[in-house]
């Protein structure tokens, strides 16, 4: 991790198009501004982690749902063409 000291109104550049500006310092609180392209997502870490956890839960729920559905749906009946194709793959 790179650690830099900055004063109010000083900046840090990330690449060519992201600028982090120290807006103000008040005790233990630092206000920063971020100048970046609009298509770049910028989230507070705690928000990012909440979204990530919700996405994991959604994937797990979808996986369970798919397993439950596959138990209910009838299996695809094997046709003569499918059986011949499978025999050809074994050679």
pLDDT in tens, 30-86: 999 999 999 999 999 999 999 999 999 998 888 877 777 777 777 766 555 555 555
Is there a domain that residue 89 lies in?
no
Is there a domain that residue 56 lies in?
yes
Containing H/E element for 19? Answer: strand 18-26
Residues contacting residue 40 through CB under 8 Å, at least 6 positions apart: 18
- The pLDDT value given to residue 62: 83
Claim to verify: residue 16 and residue 31 sit in the same structural domain = yes
Domain limits for position 19? 7-36
Is there a domain that residue 88 lies in?
no
Is there a domain that residue 54 lies in?
yes
d(CA 78, CA 8): 72
**Residue 34, Cβ density class (10 Å: 0-12 exposed, 13-18 middle, ≥19 buried):** exposed
- The reported pTM is 0.58
- The pLDDT value given to residue 69: 74
Domain count along the chain: 2
């Amino acid at each position: 991790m790179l650690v830099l000291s900055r004063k109010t109104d000083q900046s840090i550049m990330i690449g060519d198009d992201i600028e982090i500006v120290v807006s103000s310092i008040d005790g233990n609180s630092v206000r920063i501004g971020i100048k970046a392209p609009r298509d770049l997502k910028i989230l507070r870490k705690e928000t990012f982690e909440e979204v990530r956890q919700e996405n994991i839960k959604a994937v797990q729920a979808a996986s369970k749902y798919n397993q439950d559905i596959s138990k209910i749906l009838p299996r695809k009946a094997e046709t003569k063409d499918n059986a011949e194709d499978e025999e050809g793959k074994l050679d």
